[in-house]
Amino acid sequence: MPGWNCLVTGAGGFVGQRIIKMLVQEKELQEVRALDKVFRRKASKDLFFVFTELQTKAKVTLLEGDILDAQYLRRACQGISVVIHTAAVIDVLGVVPKQTILDVNLKGTQNLLEACVQASVTAFIFCSSVDVAGPNSYKTIVLNGHEEERHENTWPDPYPYSKKMAEKAVLAANGSILKNGGTLHTCALRPMYIYGERSPFISNIIIMALKNKGILSATSKFSIANPVYVDNVAWAHILAARGLQDPKKSPNIQGQFYYVSDDTPHQSYDDFYYTLSKEWGFHLDSSWSLPLPMLYWLAFLLETVSFLLSPVYRYRPLFNRHLVTLANSTFTFTYKKAQRDLGYEPLISWEEAKQKTSEWIGTLVWQHRETLDTKSQ
């Protein structure tokens, strides 16, 4: 891999930033291009400092661009050896318009694949999602699932559908002939639910709990999940980038997808959030809650009301059947295939990941208290 260059899309995001920080430690890397539309926002000026102050011999170039701009993508890919594609719209509540999700997640991926062909990029790693595999029903148990079982999400919701179709496009593009006569090699990684410092989802949960006297809403007590720490997800992408460029490993990786988990204990999402935050005085809501089947059919009723009102009013339910299923299923996967083909082993242990995430949650608590003190003055 002498003198290779890498483009990372979604570089300003939760996973993208971690990938950049690990990439620049690669000895033979000459340049990493960090592409994200978010760089245009004034609130993200700190990202410039995060990337420009990295201790690295590699050149770090920040690109403010849109994944839907095909011509821009083609220019961004010129001279690039590897593309790591993490840019996506994540939405399971129906907040973002359906067409926006399809455009970014599916069309954006197709645009990037075409740009790689035109710019003769030889390796493409797609950050997919476990949501591509399901769960389709909270009644179905998947414990330590693996790639050979061929699970596939059947929900019509735009997020899982767009990620599923984007992954299919990426894997189908493996073996495409490049403009210079070379060959494009692709693979996809399916991380479990990703946690860690600066997780936007955990941040929202903690802020909501702070507004509710430290009570964590118990909405996922029927689940068994195996969340994965963000640095371990980033590490898997680095190994995939190495592997697709390695003549010995590449044939086994090309056109393949891999589940990415780590040694975080299997537990319900409710217990998981409590474990991370209990040091700061948070506790689970102990009040009575609806039985799961009733919650599911209530979600169906709310979706029906939303559909009936749609011609005259946009009503967005607080939850839907997909979210209820996602948050209350037994749905875990092993990383053995990634271990075998990519040489993947989690970089960060559960104890270290738990400590780092908990300490970050502590900063959210202190920020909240400072905000309240300022308002009271």
**DSSP string covering 159-197, please?**
HHHHHHHHHHHHHHTTTPBPTTS-B-EEEEEEE-SEEST
pLDDT digits (tens, 9 = 90+) for 306-328: 999 989 998 889 899 999 999 99
Secondary structure of residue 142 in the 3-state scheme: strand
What's residue 3's pLDDT?
Answer: 81
Model confidence at 118: pLDDT above 60: yes
Higher local confidence (pLDDT), 95 or 226: 226
pTM of the model: 0.94
What's residue 2's pLDDT?
Answer: 64
Calculate the alpha carbon distances from 265 to 73, 194, 229, 285, 357 in Å. Answer: 40, 14, 11, 22, 15
Percentage of the chain exceeding pLDDT 70: 94
Model confidence at 375: pLDDT above 60: yes
Sheet strand arrangement including 29-35: 59-63, 29-35, 4-9, 82-85, 123-127, 185-191, 256-260
DSSP 267-330: B-HHHHHHHHHGGGT-EE--S----HHHHHHHHHHHHHHHHHHTTT-----S--HHHHHHHSSB
Percentage of the chain exceeding pLDDT 90: 83
What's residue 155's pLDDT?
Answer: 94
Residues catalogued as catalytic: 163
Spell out the domains of the chain, with CATH numbers in brackets: 4-200+227-265+331-349 (3.40.50.720)
Q: What is the residue type of 134?
A: G
Model confidence at 204: pLDDT above 80: yes
Rounded CA separation 133/165 (Å): 12
Residue from 267, 264, 260 nearest 336 by CA: 260
Model confidence at 33: pLDDT above 90: yes
Q: Which helix (H) or strand (E) holds 30?
A: strand 29-35
Higher local confidence (pLDDT), 369 or 192: 192
What's residue 211's pLDDT?
Answer: 93
Residue from 130, 266, 133, 145 nearest 191 by CA: 130
Structure tokens at 291: 């039985």
Model confidence at 293: pLDDT above 90: yes
Model confidence at 144: pLDDT above 90: yes
Strand partners, 126: 85, 188
What's residue 27's pLDDT?
Answer: 87
Residue from 31, 33, 38 nearest 3 by CA: 31
Mean of pLDDT values over 146-175: 96
Contact 350, 275 (CB under 8 A): no
Model confidence at 131: pLDDT above 80: yes
Q: What is the residue type of 259?
A: Y
Mean of pLDDT values over 218-242: 96
Mean of pLDDT values over 23-51: 75
Alpha-carbon Rg for the chain, nearest whole angstrom, is: 21
- Local structure of residue 332 (DSSP, 8 states): E
Mean of pLDDT values over 23-40: 88
pLDDT digits (tens, 9 = 90+) for 43-95: 455 555 556 566 677 888 999 999 999 999 999 999 999 999 999 999 988 88
**Length of the chain in residues, anyone?**
377
The mean pLDDT value of the chain amounts to 93
Rounded CA separation 164/322 (Å): 15
Model confidence at 1: pLDDT above 60: no
Residue 286 CB neighbours (<10 A): 8
What do you get for the CA distance between the two ends of the chain, in Å?
59
pLDDT digits (tens, 9 = 90+) for 331-364: 999 999 999 999 999 999 999 999 999 999 999 9
Secondary structure of residue 209 in the 3-state scheme: helix
Q: How confident is the model at residue 42 (pLDDT cuts 50, 70, 90)?
A: very low
